[in-house]
Structure 1
Amino acid sequence: MPSLTPMTNDVLLPVQEIQAISAVPKILETVAALTGLGFVAVAHVTPTSWTTCAVLDRLDFGLKAGDGLDVATTLCDEVRSCGESIVIDHVQESAQYRDHHTPRMYGFQSYFSIPILRPDGSYFGTLCGLDPKPMPLSSTASVAALELFAELISKQLETERAHAVTQTDLTSERETAELREQFIAVLGHDLRTPLGAVQSGVDLLRRNLPAAQAEGVLARMQRSLARMAGLVDDLVDFARGRMGSGIVLHLRQESCLEQALQQVIEELRQIHPDSPVVAELGQGIALYCDVGRLGQLLSNLVKNAIVHGVPGQPVRVAAASADGVFALSVHNHGDPLAPGVTQQLFKPFWRSPAASPSDGLGLGLYIVAEIARAHGGTMDVSWADGEVGFRFAMPATAAHGGQAG
């Protein structure tokens, strides 16, 4: 058992932050299955301390959450210093590490340590693991998967921080209770499906599949991890909106906004090849805006149209500036909205009764409305000639040109 250092108050909060993330135990189990290592942990690392925040220990290594090590004896300290991952398949065959004091002190032959950054870029710690047996860890596929898991933990740290601030600022006890239940449901249920898909992928990779087939499995795992990251991003935007500060904008003058909108449309066409998207974009659209957020607004509207529209029927996108107003609209074939639905569409966590669990959290249109509000714009919903239409409009005093043609 390694020599432990006592936990101090300054490292208590990071331990609590990781312990609050309900998906972390499943992530550690998945990483252990993917790598074959008997010890996997999330550690908080500073220049003066190394503290276990969460651990899966099948080696009886002797560490539990809150336990610390002398940071100078760890490779995680080197990861913190250089900002790069360390991955070792076999210490005895590594010219760099065969004589290193850390493997000798802790008795491992295979090891990895992946940096975990907070969303602001500051260093939190590492996702790390070790085993006394050599293990093939350094393949491109394995390292990519480990880095994706570290990134997911990073995003969930921000979610938990936003969640905590939201709960503090809410004045209604009932609203606080409802919000807590929604977050728990999302993190406990909506993340379970993509995590299950990743676990299935790990099971397949453990069967030593041919390289080409393994690449396909890894691609599916990456898509599942991307979905989890997307869920977390939506929750962060939701929390910011509910805290009263609203979605943060990075405004700048755009001279050809249609180019960014076209790129979003092309990405959606690749993701949804069976759902045609027809675009009519004005040329030379100039606007003072957050182009990234407007791209997110468009993406959410088109995804909503694809999910709820008539399969195979085109989704129509139009954008132009005229008479001092910039307008962006998305139309899809569909039935008229039921009475009362229009008032519910832009509320958080609202989903149509006909929606399936895979259709998302019910935050997409809420985030659309928040982006519109942050730009000083409005959202309108209409139905005519068998089509449902969403229209975003904002003042275009800084705009010129951009007439549809």
Structure 2
Amino acid sequence: MKEELSKRVEEIQAISAVPKILETVAAMTGLRFVCIAHVTDDSWTACAVLDCAHHTPRIDGFQSYFSIPIFRADGAYFGTLCGLDPEPARLTDSVTVSTMHLFADLVSKQLDADNKLVEARADLSSERETAELREQFIAVLGHDLRTPLGSILLGTDLLALEHPDPESRPIVERIRSSATRMAALVDDVLDFTRGRMGAGIPMRLRDADVEGTLEQVVDEMRGLYPQRPIEATIAPGLWLRCDPERVAQLLSNLLKNALVHGSDDAPVRVAASMVKGELVLSVANAGAELPQGVIDGLFKPYWRAASRSGDEGLGLGLYIVEQIARAHGGTIEVSSKGGATVFLFRLVTSLPEHVHQAP
């Protein structure tokens, strides 16, 4: 109880305008004792006092008294702005009454503002702690998990070279595939965490010919999904300013999405070309038309198709695709009609037009 009262006193005393309000009230009314009090059902505590006679007037014989209620922003009763004096004073004229209510309202609003400031500072402190935890999380993912994964991948390479046993080969390849998938999941979580922290996905922009980069991605996905045909039409000499590794990641995520969610009976088609100074990269797969509600959720983090069992990852692939597109200043669009779903990435290049052509 004492701690609660002390807190209320501190709230009022923290308002820098309170002394001036009390002085003004005393000057307007002629009362020699004015204060702001916190009031409960069983207590009355003066939080800030102006006693012009240097002592509190005796309770008996008061001839002048006013009390204006002070409410918090949520409607809770805090207390009163009040004054008293043993001598008579004119307190009922409209200007005085309106002014007293104005001062009470000012104190109420300041209490609310100060509470919000305290909450904001607490939130800021909590956010700083959260940011530190995020940094530690990224450090763990970036080093403590990647390092053993790298060792596993190196070990599978050595086993394949030194022990080319046909019977153990499938086991080694399974280990390599699992470690590669784990590394990709780590990269996805890292990108997601950085994006949510506000820093965005890190980029290393440079002038590059991405033709070979895109073809390499297609070849890698053909190796991972040998049973699925991938038809690629990639124009030569696709020079543009970009982060080629991130463009490769974008295409890889789009291709994996198409292979996992598209029809098994039709090829996935990739096309990349330069059209009027703009890179146009599309990935299309056959399959049932997607409802608009599903399309609206495709680029949200952790999105997964309800029709799939759940071994396709964390559901961050398309979210990262959109983040990469935005980081480049490009756009990513999706359409689903006529038995085909098409993802379209567009990126305007700042390189001169003649550089876009193959040498």
- TM-score scaled by length of structure 1: 0.48
Q: CA deviation at 1:334?
A: 1.2
Over residues 312-350 of structure 1, what are the superposed CA-to-partner deviations in whole Å (9 max), with x where a residue is unaligned?
A: 311111111112221111001011111311110000001
Q: Which secondary structure state, in structure 1, belongs to the residue aligned with residue 341 of structure 2?
A: strand
For structure 1, list consecutive stretches of 5 or more residues without a partner in the other structure. Answer: 1-16, 22-115, 128-144, 152-197, 199-204
Q: Which secondary structure state, in structure 2, belongs to the residue aligned with residue 336 of structure 1?
A: coil
* In structure 2, distance between residues paired with 1:150 and 1:226: 11
Paired amino acid for 1:315: V
Over residues 28-87 of structure 1, what are the superposed CA-to-partner deviations in whole Å (9 max), with x where a residue is unaligned?
A: xxxxxxxxxxxxxxxxxxxxxxxxxxxxxxxxxxxxxxxxxxxxxxxxxxxxxxxxxxxx
Query: Would the alpha carbon gap of residues 331 and 375 (structure 1) be closer, same or farther in structure 2, given more than 3 Å must change?
Result: same
Counterpart in 2 of 1:224? 178
Paired amino acid for 1:331: A
> For residues 312-351 of structure 1, what are the structure 2 equivalents within 5 Å?
312-351=265-304
Where has structure 1 moved over 2 Å in runs of 4 or more? Answer: 116-120, 209-216, 399-404
Query: Is 1:371 matched with 2:324?
Result: yes
* In structure 1, distance between residues paired with 2:269 and 2:351: 26
On the 8 A contact 2:141/2:190 being kept in 1, the answer is: no
Over residues 114-135 of structure 1, what are the superposed CA-to-partner deviations in whole Å (9 max), with x where a residue is unaligned?
A: xx99947xx99x98xxxxxxxx
* In structure 2, distance between residues paired with 1:352 and 1:311: 16
Counterpart in 1 of 2:152? 148
* In structure 2, distance between residues paired with 1:150 and 1:282: 35
Q: Which secondary structure state, in structure 1, belongs to the residue aligned with residue 167 of structure 2?
A: helix
2:245 to 289, 292, 295: 292
* In structure 1, distance between residues paired with 2:285 and 2:295: 16
> For residues 252-263 of structure 1, what are the structure 2 equivalents within 5 Å?
252-254=206-208, 256-263=209-216
* In structure 2, distance between residues paired with 1:387 and 1:292: 28
Query: Would the alpha carbon gap of residues 311 and 149 (structure 1) be closer, same or farther in structure 2, given more than 3 Å must change?
Result: closer
For structure 2, list consecutive stretches of 5 or more residues without a partner in the other structure. Answer: 1-132
Counterpart in 2 of 1:301? 254
Paired amino acid for 1:147: S
Q: CA deviation at 1:214?
A: 2.9
Query: Would the alpha carbon gap of residues 392 and 214 (structure 1) be closer, same or farther in structure 2, given more than 3 Å must change?
Result: same
Of all paired residues, the percent bearing the same amino acid is 44
* In structure 1, distance between residues paired with 2:254 and 2:266: 16
Over residues 274-297 of structure 1, what are the superposed CA-to-partner deviations in whole Å (9 max), with x where a residue is unaligned?
A: 111111111111100000000000
On the 8 A contact 1:277/1:317 being kept in 2, the answer is: yes
- TM-score scaled by length of structure 2: 0.54
* In structure 1, distance between residues paired with 2:313 and 2:220: 19
Counterpart in 2 of 1:94? none
Q: CA deviation at 1:385?
A: 2.8
Over residues 12-42 of structure 1, what are the superposed CA-to-partner deviations in whole Å (9 max), with x where a residue is unaligned?
A: xxxxx9xx99xxxxxxxxxxxxxxxxxxxxx
Q: CA deviation at 1:360?
A: 1.2
Query: Would the alpha carbon gap of residues 148 and 384 (structure 1) be closer, same or farther in structure 2, given more than 3 Å must change?
Result: same
Cα RMSD of the aligned pairs, angstroms, is: 3.4
Aligned length: 216
Counterpart in 1 of 2:105? none
Counterpart in 2 of 1:244? 198
Larger Cα-atom Rg: 2
* In structure 2, distance between residues paired with 1:210 and 1:295: 31
